[in-house]
């Protein structure tokens, strides 16, 4: 018999977590996987919730990390399936470099870290010593 407390946890917070995941994930399928993983992780680590913030905020942070983890896993899997050819055709490389040069340095820095080097937002924020929200907005 499933634990009623787990059912209550999901019933109470599913809508908020799912809304967040659908807004942030690259696909609905990935969002659904992230929601499921969020509740499993939350249940597993329930005793680590310190109570200093809202419980729903804690769940959203877990969901955010799940999305990042799943998207990184998906990127690695798709990169492994691709041939060793360059991701960008050589004749477009100079155009891309030219366009990137027109961006403000702060935006270009985030684009390089996240888009080219594959850093997640948390890592880019730590590298640049700026809030994650600023990384996302750039």
Residue (of 10, 92, 89) closest to 43 by Cα position: 10
The CATH class, in words, for 90-137 is mainly alpha
pLDDT at 6: 92
- Cβ contact 138:106 at 8 Å: yes
- Considering the chain, what is the average pLDDT of its residues? 84
Per-residue pLDDT, 75: 84
22 or 83, higher pLDDT: 22
Domain ranges of the chain: 4-81, 90-137
pLDDT of residue 1: 42
Query: What gap in Å lies between CA 42 and CA 30, rounded to an integer?
Result: 18
pLDDT digits (tens, 9 = 90+) for 87-111: 555 667 677 767 877 888 788 778 8
More confident residue, 125 or 70: 70
CATH topology for the 4-81 domain: Rna Polymerase Sigma Factor; Chain: A (1.10.1740)
DSSP 1-68: ---HHHHHHHHHHHHHHHHHHHHHSSSHHHHHHHHHHHHHHHHHTGGG--SSS-HHHHHHHHHHHHHH
- Please identify which residue in the block is written with the tokens 């492994």: 80
Please state which of the ranges 43-52, 67-76, 125-134 shows the lowest mean pLDDT: 125-134
């Amino acid at each position: 018999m499933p634990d009623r407390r787990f059912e209550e946890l999901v019933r109470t917070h599913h809508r908020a977590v799912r809304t967040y995941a659908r807004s942030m994930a690259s696909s609905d399928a990935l969002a659904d996987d992230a929601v499921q993983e969020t509740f499993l992780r939350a249940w597993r680590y329930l005793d680590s919730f310190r109570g200093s913030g809202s419980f729903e905020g804690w769940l959203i942070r877990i969901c955010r990390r799940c999305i990042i983890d799943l998207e990184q896993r998906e990127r690695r899997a798709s990169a492994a399936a691709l041939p060793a050819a360059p991701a960008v055709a050589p004749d477009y490389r100079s155009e891309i470099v030219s366009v990137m040069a027109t961006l403000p340095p702060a935006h270009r820095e985030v684009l390089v870290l996240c888009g080219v080097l594959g850093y997640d937002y948390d890592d880019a924020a730590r590298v640049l010593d700026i809030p994650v929200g600023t990384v996302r907005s750039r």
